[in-house]
Every structure is written in C-alpha cells, then in structure tokens.
C-alpha cells in the first residue's frame, strides 16, 4: 500500500515528542503490543480493544449523530493517528474527500498504520500520512474542514498550543472533535499521580483532565460553541447507569463519575 507521506519539521532532540517517537520508530512498541492478549491476529487491534474500548463506539456515535455527522466532511485531519484505525473509518465516509493521518512516527504509520487501513477496509486513495508534532504541523491556514483527537490530546505536553495549531489549520467555522476520558473531580488527584508514574515508566506523555478542564482548554485556544456529549457505552451495570443519569440531570455526575466524552467545538 503506497500512501504519500508529508514531512513536517523535525522533532527537537530530547523533547518528550522525540523520546516518544523513538519508541515507535525503533519497533519496541510493536513488541509491547504483541504481549497484549486478545482474539485478533493483529496485535494492535487487541491493544485497541483492551485499552481504548470506548473509542470505536464513540466514533460511531459522532458519525451517526444528526448534528455532528454532517460536519465530518471535506478534508479531515486525524491528530495522533497512531495505528490509523480512525483514519480508515473516516476514509470510508462519502462526505469525506481526504484524510490526513498525523503522527510522530513515519515508520509506525507506514507499517502498522498501512496494515490497519488495509485490514479494516480503509480507502487508501483518500489518505495521506503526515509526520509532525501536534504543535508545528506542515499545513497552511484553513486547510481542513474537520479535525479529530481520538484518545490522543492527553499525550500533548502543551495542549493549548496544540489546540491553537489545530484551530489555525481548520477553516473558519470548521469543527474539532475530541474523544477523551473526563476524570471526575473525586478521582482527579489520584489519577494524575498514576499518570505521572505511567509517563515515567513508559516514556510516553500521559496527562489527565476533568470535563471542565477540557472545555477550558478548547475555549482558551479560541474555539467556540463547545459541546460535551457524555457517553454510556462502557457502563454495563444498570444500577450504575441509572445513578449516572440521575446525577447528570442535575449536572453532578462530573463530581463522582469518570466519563467517556465527545467534545466538539467550532474554530
């Protein structure tokens, strides 16, 4: 599969992005993936199923949504594309003309990403790879109609800068969509302690935010019309689901429960 590659500015030596990129460029991340149990022959699909079980149904929710779905059109960018499963899904949409998969590691996208695109039926003719950090992309102002961060913005050490760059390359009135975990106020301190430890041991950046903080980051970066949709796709117990929905009615859920959220905004 021959997908064109767009190369941005090189990463600064010893920066968090360069350290993280090396893990994927060297192939050590592939070794980690092969150790994850699962039913799929493709190791990275097992990784997706185990560590991001909410992301695929959340993306399906966006695509099927009567308001959000039509905004996923034209030229779309997948920030932190990684294995490119999101890119593959977006490339199958009739309203989407082109998808740019942006990530730190060229080797990872051109091997694992290309493999996942082929295995999941992505339309390779619509896809381009871009090798870049979130903060210095190789695109001119107003290049994209829509952008996605699917479980990826929490890897940015400077999320406001990343979002400002996303806003720059979106067309006026374009849409940014985040699929992320919004940590409850009750749990945020403990979750952040674990994130710091994980960052140190895995050589990846792990940041965690509450729902209000995600909204704040978007608004601070200049986005408007911020909308938060809370999803229940990972809640299996009926009693917990009822408790969540009751608290949600009074805007108290965020105090107690961590949620999978879809956050959208206009540039």
Residue 120: predicted pLDDT: 97
Domain CATH code at residue 215: 3.40.50.150
Residue 46: predicted pLDDT: 97
The structural domain count of the chain equals 1
Residue 13: predicted pLDDT: 80
Residue 25: predicted pLDDT: 92
Per-position pLDDT tens, the chain of length 267: 789 999 998 888 878 888 888 989 999 999 999 999 999 999 999 999 999 999 999 999 999 999 999 999 999 999 999 999 999 999 999 999 999 999 999 999 999 999 999 999 999 999 999 999 999 999 999 999 999 999 999 999 999 999 999 999 999 999 999 999 999 999 999 999 999 999 988 888 999 999 999 999 999 999 999 999 999 998 989 999 999 999 999 999 999 999 999 999 999
Residue 52: predicted pLDDT: 96
Residue 116: predicted pLDDT: 98
Residue span of the structural domain in which 213 resides:
5-266
The closest alpha carbon to 91, from 124, 119, 61, 133, belongs to: 124
Residue 37: predicted pLDDT: 96
Residue 20: predicted pLDDT: 86
Residue 17: predicted pLDDT: 87
Residue 170: predicted pLDDT: 98
* Cα–Cα distance measured from residue 10 to residue 123, given in angstroms and rounded to the nearest whole number: 28
pTM score of the predicted model: 0.95
**Tokens representing 204?**
């990846």
Residue 11: predicted pLDDT: 82
**CA-atom Rg of the chain in angstroms:** 18
> Would you give the distance in Å from CA 54 to the centre of its chain?
12
């Amino acid at each position: 599969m021959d997908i064109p590659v767009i190369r941005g500015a090189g990463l600064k030596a010893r920066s968090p992005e360069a350290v993280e990129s090396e893990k994927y460029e060297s192939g050590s991340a592939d070794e980690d993936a092969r150790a994850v149990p699962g039913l799929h022959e493709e190791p990275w699909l097992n990784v997706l199923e185990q560590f991001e079980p909410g992301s695929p149904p959340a993306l399906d929710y966006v695509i099927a949504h009567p308001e959000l779905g039509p905004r996923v059109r034209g030229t779309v960018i997948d920030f932190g594309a990684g294995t490119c499963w999101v890119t593959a899904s977006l490339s199958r949409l009739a309203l989407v003309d082109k998808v740019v998969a942006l990530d730190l590691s060229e080797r990872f996208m051109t091997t694992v990403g290309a493999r996942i695109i082929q295995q999941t039926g992505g339309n390779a003719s619509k896809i381009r790879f871009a090798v870049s950090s979130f903060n210095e992309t190789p695109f001119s102002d107003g290049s994209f109609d829509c952008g996605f961060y699917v479980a990826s913005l929490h890897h940015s050490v400077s999320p406001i800068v990343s979002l400002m760059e996303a806003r720059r390359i979106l067309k006026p009135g374009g849409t940014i969509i985040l699929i992320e975990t919004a940590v409850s106020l009750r749990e945020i301190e403990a979750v952040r302690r674990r994130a710091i430890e994980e960052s140190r041991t895995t050589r990846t950046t792990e940041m965690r935010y509450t729902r209000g903080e995600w909204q704040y980051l978007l608004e601070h970066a200049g986005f408007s019309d911020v909308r938060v949709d809370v999803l229940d796709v990972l809640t299996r117990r009926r009693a917990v689901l009822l408790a969540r929905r009751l608290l949600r009615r009074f805007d108290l859920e965020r105090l107690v429960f961590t949620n999978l959220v879809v956050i959208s905004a206009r540039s």
